[in-house]
Structure formats: C-alpha cells, structure tokens
Amino acid sequence: MSIPAIPGCCYEIISNVKSSLRKRKPHLPRVAAVSALFLLTGAAIVYSFIGLAPPPPAPQLTDTAFPVIAPTLRFGVALDTFAHRTDTIREGQTLSDILLAQGLGNQETFDAANAFNELLDVRSLRAGRIYHILDDPDTAGPDYLTYQPSIFEYVRLDLRNNEQSVRNSLPVKTEIALAAGKIESNLWNAMTGAGMSYALTDRMEDALQWSVDFYHVQPNDAFQLVYEKQLVEGEEAEPGAVKAARYSSGGEDIYAFWYCSPDSTYQGYFGLNGEPMKSTFLKAPVRFSRISSAFNLRRFHPIQKRVKPHLGTDYAAPYGTPILSVADGVIVERGRRGGNGNFVKVRHNQQYTTQYLHMQRFADGHKVGSRVRQGETIGYVGSTGLATGPHVCFRFWKDGRQIDHTKLRFPPAKNMPEHLLPEFMALRDAYLAQLNQVGTPTQDTEAQIIEGQRIQEELKKVKEAEAK
C-alpha cells in the first residue's frame, strides 16, 4: 500500500514543531528551584525575628516543688532533732531528784546541779512548774534539761558536761493595746471580768494612785487604758507600762499620761495640761486593800474592850502584802514595841512623819537612818502586836500632832518645764484619740483643758506673790 506524499507546507510545519520541542527544557526543575529559594529566604527572615525576641523566662520553682519544713526552734536548739519529754516539779522534789531519775550517776548529778546553780539559784525551782528533758536518739542518755523561771527567760542545763549550759532571755515583742471597763462592785472584779490581769490592775493604780481613791470606788465608775502588751513566743506575758489612763467617777474625768523627755531627765505621769500627777504623798501605804478601821477618837477597841482613840487608819490586806513608804523620807525608828508589833517610822520633812504598824517582817536593806523613796517597800503586812488579823495601821503626823490623813490635800509636785509642753501635748492628743476608741469621757475634754489652764495661771500668780 503506497503512502500518500506529504505536501511541502505540512512538512515544514511538522519540522518546526519538532525543532521547537527539542530546544525547550522541562519546567519542573525551575519551579523547584524557585520554591527552594523562597523557603530559604522565608526561613532566614523568621530566624532573624526569633533572634531579636527576648529569651523565654527561666523555669521557676514553686513552694510545692521541694517543700522545706522549718525546724521548731526553742531553748536555743532544734527540738525536732530530740526526743522531747515534759514533766512537772513535785512538792519536795529537788534538782538532784530530777537528775537521778533521768539515769545520771551521782557524780554527774552533782556536777550538773553545780552548773545549774551558777546560772540560777536552785531554790528558784518551784513545785508545779514545768521542766523539759531533751534526748538526742544518737547519743546515750539525755542531753539537756530546760527550765523557765519566768516567761521571759530559760535555763538550759547541759547533762553531757559539754559546757553548753546557758541562761538566756527570750525576745519580747511589745504592742500597744487598749482596755476598758465599768465598776459594778470593785475594781478587781471589773478588770478581771473584762479579761484583764491583776498585773494590769496594778499598773493602772500606779498611774492614778495620786488622784484616785481606789478604796472608795463607786458603781458605774469607768476606766479606759492605753498600755503595752508584751508577747513572748506568741504568748501574752505581764503587761508593760500604762501609757495613758482615764478614770471617770461622779461626773469627773481624771487623766494620767506617761511622758519622758528626750534626755530622760523629766519623766512620769502628767495630767491634761502637763501638771504632774505625782503628789507629795501616796493616798495609802498598801495596794489592793480596804480600810477596815478609820481614824476615830472614840473607837471601841476590839481586843482591849474599851473606848480608846484610834489615831490611825487600818488597811486590811493579806499576809505578806508589801507596805510602801507614802513619800520620800528617812527611817527614824524600826523595831518592835508592845501593841505596835513590828513597825517603821519615816520622817519626810520637818512637818510630816508617818508610821506603819503590825508588820509581819521588815524589808531587807533598811535600817534607822536609811533613805527611802516614795513607793518603796519597807515591810510586809502582818498581825504582830495587838491585832485581830492581817493589816497595817497607818499613822500620820503633821507638825507633831496625829491627824486623819484622808482629809488632807497635799501640794502638787513641780510642774513640767514649759519648753517640753508642745511635745507633751502632741503625745497627749494621740493618747486621747486612743482612749476615745474604747470609751467616752463624761466631761467636755476641751473645756476641761481650758479650765485646767486657768487654774494653773492662778496658781502661778499666787506663787509669784508669795515669792515677793
């Protein structure tokens, strides 16, 4: 079969197509190259941005990642490393008895007791008080005995004779606290009923003893206090000083503010206008007592069974209550005589003398001729001589004649220097704000301040006239 001839024009077209196909390269390698170029460029750009960004934060440890248990530190050691036993001192038990019971030998007990006595008199151990035995399980026998003579300090006795026995004071944290109460029967019940301690009652009396007769408090009398609360190891200890006090009775407000000058040369309790609260004489020679027999020229004597002048004031109080000198002075008599029993007589100046009868015993360190300060203990309440029970018969002489001291008005102490008044008044105003947080005054305080200033000006004029 013969093939038909291809026309010349067609042959030329076919030849041109074949030639074109032979000259054109495939498209795929070029596309891949271009794509790779774009990828590399994009990666370079992204990498440059990553390099400019801040580094990620370092991984943080949490509290729960590695829990740390703080050791229980007490008595200067980590209690967690010891077996800890607590016991109570029994009546009649001595330190040697306690140490022997822990397995110490006689010589070890003797040495340990001597070491303890160098730190604290062994007679300070009191029945009913707590002591602690610390025993390291890795050593033979107990390691330490600890004892707190007070909340403020401890003694740690080294039982292994490693000379690590110490007596240390504990850190005291002081906070300012407020207190208030109202009298229903007596001051003690009012304060303890409000959760306050006898010690705080004592501190309040210190602040107001020259102005308030605590032996004749009345129902509905009220008081407010700003005082220092002392904490030892989180436990409340004895209160510190009363910084401010207000006592309201019979429609009158009596104030006392503690102030100490920058150089500490002028300090004490002062009234609203800086007048000193400290009088020449205390109102009574004992605290927390009651008048059991007043000054009476025709009293029936309970022992002698006859009418006889009672030229003193009897203050009933428990045996051993401290008897205080009511003012600065010199002891002129001290001894025992007949119905007076044990007594002390103090001359305060040429005009005033006081005497304190029926003492159980005298305070140490005094003799005839000794100087005593106001508030200093000179003896202790008893019932020596002619006495039916524990009390102090307090006698008061003025110009050589015995008088009823409860009817006297004593001159005030020296006023605060005027250059200290601005600082005092700023402190007073701060204390007043705190007192008002827990109570309300019965008088207008501002009017009371103005009236006090007027009285002070009048007294100043009188003194100036007397000086001329």
Tens of pLDDT, residue by residue over 161-172, are 777 899 999 999
Cβ count within 10 A of residue 291: 17
| Strand ranges across the sheet with 153-158 | 83-88, 130-135, 144-150, 153-158, 166-169
In the Cβ-directed half-sphere of 194, how many Cα atoms lie within 13 Å?
21
Confidence category of residue 10, pLDDT binned at 50, 70, 90: very low
Query: What is the overall mean pLDDT for the chain?
Result: 82
Compute the average pLDDT of residues 222-251: 92
Portions of the chain given CATH number 2.70.70.10 = 290-407
Residue 23 confidence (pLDDT) above 50:
no
pLDDT band at 96 (very low <50, low <70, confident <90, very high): very high
Which amino acid is located at 19 in the chain? S
Q: What percent of the chain has pLDDT over 90?
A: 40
In this prediction, residue 367 carries a pLDDT of 93
Q: How many CB atoms lie within 10 A of CB 321?
A: 23
**Lowest mean pLDDT: which of 71-80, 236-245, 430-439?**
71-80
Of 123-127, 293-297, 355-359, the range with the lowest mean pLDDT is: 293-297
Range with the poorest average pLDDT among 61-75, 131-145, 381-395 = 61-75
> Any idea of the CA torsion for 106, 112, 116, 121, to the nearest 10 degrees?
20
Give the fold, CATH level 3, of 173-270. Answer: Nuclear Transport Factor 2; Chain: A, (3.10.450)
Q: Are 334 and 345 in contact, with CB atoms under 8 Å apart?
A: yes
Q: What is the pLDDT of residue 1?
A: 46
- pLDDT reported for residue 37: 63
pLDDT at residue 387 above 80? yes
Report the alpha-carbon angle 108-112-113, nearest 5.
Answer: 115
Cα–Cα distance measured from residue 164 to residue 115, given in angstroms and rounded to the nearest whole number: 10
Q: How confident is the model at residue 28 (pLDDT cuts 50, 70, 90)?
A: very low
DSSP bridge partners of 312: none
Contact 239, 203 (CB under 8 A): yes
Full DSSP string of 285-353: SSSS-EEEE--EEEEEPTTT-SEEEE-SEEEE--TTPEEE-SSSEEEEEEEEEGGGEEEEEEE-SSSEE
Structural class in CATH, domain 290-407: mainly beta
Residue 237 has pLDDT above 60, yes or no: yes
CATH of the domain spanning 75-169, picked from 1.10.580.10, 3.90.1170.50, 3.40.50.880, 3.10.450.350: 3.10.450.350
Q: Mean pLDDT, to the nearest integer, of 195-211?
A: 84
Question: What's the token pair of residue 466?
Answer: 């007397």
Task: Measure CA of the first residue to CA of the last residue in the chain; give whole Å.
Answer: 172
pLDDT band of 35, cuts 50, 70, 90: low
What is the rounded distance in angstroms from the CA atom of residue 222 to the CA atom of residue 390? 30
Residue type, 128: G
Q: How confident is the model over 389-403, as a mean pLDDT? A: 92
**Where in the chain is CATH 3.10.450.350?**
75-169, 173-270
Per-residue pLDDT for 355 more than 90? yes
Task: Give the C-alpha separation, 164 to 281, whole Å.
Answer: 50
Q: Is the Cβ–Cβ distance between 266 and 420 less than 8 Å?
A: yes
φ, ψ at 388 (rounded to 5°): -90, -10
Judge contact between 329 and 317, C-beta under 8 A. no
Task: Specify the pLDDT at position 58.
Answer: 65
